[in-house]
Structure 1
Amino acid sequence: MTDDLFHIAHAEQWEKARAIGRYEQSTQGLSLGEVGFIHLSTSEQWPGVLERFYADVDDELVLLTIDPQRLSSPVRWEAPEGTDEQFPHLYGPLDAGAVTATRTL
């Protein structure tokens, strides 16, 4: 069994993505097309991501729980510039069917 992965999303963007079956937002204010991948996190990493990158967001946010076995695009573990910590990056759209739970943040 593979551990779940997580992504913080604006609730409105997630609802639109569910309607078309795929999510293509990379991170706060940037799309998959602009960045080249979707930022994901582990269960230990997402709280820090929320604090660092979404603290000033007034919109409703949701935490997406993702089953990596259901993804049709590859996940690569990479360290952002300036750190040794490895984060999962999804190189393609997030299939709505890979999201097993959502939680309002």
Structure 2
Amino acid sequence: MTEQLLHLTEEALWEAARRSGTYEMSTRGRTLREEGFIHCSLPRQLPAVADALYGPDPEGLVVLVIDGDRLGAPVRYESVSPGGEEFPHIYGPIPVGAVLEVRPWAEHPVPEEGEAP
């Protein structure tokens, strides 16, 4: 299995994806078609991403735990600025079957890699 990929989203958007078979939102308020890829995070990156996108109101959010080996699209690690931190981007829709787990977002929902939950 490749490195665990995480995507924070609204529960209603995930439920819609489950019905359609694929998830196609890139980030808050932007689709895959608009952005060109789906923004993801590694476990250590997710708290800062959640704070930047959703602020102090995590109500109704879930974390998609994605198996990169089950994607039919490439994953590229890219930074916003030269030399900046790289984030995983999925260049295509996420098949529902590639989502291993859906976790409710909480203050500390994802342990750092190597830590016990």
Relative to the length of structure 2, the TM-score reads: 0.84
Distance 1:67 1:50, change over 3 A: same
Q: How big is each residue's C-alpha offset from its partner over 1:39-79, in whole Å with a ceiling of 9 and x where there is no partner? A: 01001111110011111556511000001111101001100
The offset of 1:18, in angstroms, is 0.7
Residue 33 of structure 2 aligns with which residue? Answer: 33
* CA 1:31–1:70: 2 relative to 1, 3 Å: same
User: Matched residues in 2 for 1:58 and 1:77: separation?
Assistant: 26
Taking the TM superposition and a 5 Å limit, the aligned residue runs for 1:40-79 are 40-55=40-55, 57=57, 59-79=59-79
Shift of 1:82: 6.7
What amino acid does structure 2 have at the position aligned with 1:100? L
Q: What is the root-mean-square deviation of aligned Cα atoms in Å?
A: 1.5
SS of the residue 2:9 aligns to:
strand
- Structure 1 segments (4+ residues) deviating >6 Å: none
Aligned partner of 1:86 in structure 2 is 86
3-state SS in 2 of match to 1:49: helix
1:5 to 2:5 alignment: yes
Corresponding letter in the other structure for 1:79: S
Equivalent pairs: percent with the same residue? 45
- Does residue 22 in structure 1 map to residue 30 in structure 2? no
Larger radius of gyration: 2
Q: What residue ranges of structure 1 are gaps of 5+ in the alignment?
A: none
Structure 2, unmatched stretches of 5+, are 106-117
SS at structure 2 position matched to 1:84: coil
Measured in 1, the distance between the counterparts of 2:37 and 2:69 equals 18
CA distance in 1 between counterparts of 2:57 and 2:45 reads: 18
Task: Note closer, same or farther for the CA distance 1:45–1:58 as it changes in structure 2 (3 Å cut).
Answer: closer
